[in-house]
Chains A and B, each alone.
Chain A
């Protein structure tokens, strides 16, 4: 079974802190994604990566950056956390285009 693991289930950070959310997949998938999920807004794409060191902005990239130095790991970085970044963050990976994406359990981030 494909496993997508997010480093934390719950995280509380202070405004202005630099925050790292880590995601690791164990199936040699090419594509990886970061989404945030807010009530009534569904999953909104922040960034995605189609290969190592390659990244593309999603629909809401402002305030975020990403890093993919190794194929199995995709990190989401909040350069200076703000309260409006309080959300559920979901990582996903897929083998290649037009295949199903597998999700991690999510990280609930609270910025105070």
Chain B
């Protein structure tokens, strides 16, 4: 989920289980959403994206769900592996006078327990 402050939301999941990371976005005009994964010492890396005309999109072991009614986005990771441990960010594309900015949430730290 989203939070403001010094403490990152955390999620601990047993290896092999599925995980769900949630994100609330703020702008009902946002039309494109992305999930990123950030490992320690690296820049964020693209995982999966979804446009506002869709409510679900699947990739390899990942699924993104979009609920525009409540402005909620989720990332599901199937059969988690130790390499999935990272901080996950959702990002929304916000139209702004024709120039569109990409805004990120505060992130969720996912820890996979062996």
Contacts and interface: CB of A to CB of B under 8 A. Distances in A.
Pairing of A with B: yes
Interface of A: 4, 31, 33, 35, 39-45, 48, 50, 54, 56, 58-59, 90, 92, 94, 97-98, 100-106
A100 B93 contact: no
Given A90-B43, A105-B43, A42 B102 contact: no
A54 B97 CA distance: 14
Contacts, number: 71
When A and B form their complex, which 8 residue pairs have the shortest distance between CB atoms, in order from nearest?
A103-B43, A42-B106, A43-B104, A40-B6, A98-B32, A100-B46, A97-B100, A50-B99
Given A40-B6, A42-B105, A45-B101, A101 B34 contact: yes
A100 to B, nearest CB: 5
B44 A94 contact: no
8 contacts: A33-B102, A40-B8, A45-B102, A48-B101, A90-B44, A98-B93, A105-B42, A105-B43
Nearest to A101: B102
Interface residues of B, number: 30
Interface of B: 3-8, 31-32, 34, 36, 42-46, 49, 51, 89, 91, 93, 96, 99-107
Contacts of A100: 34, 46, 49
Nearest to A56: B99
Contacts of B46: 100-102
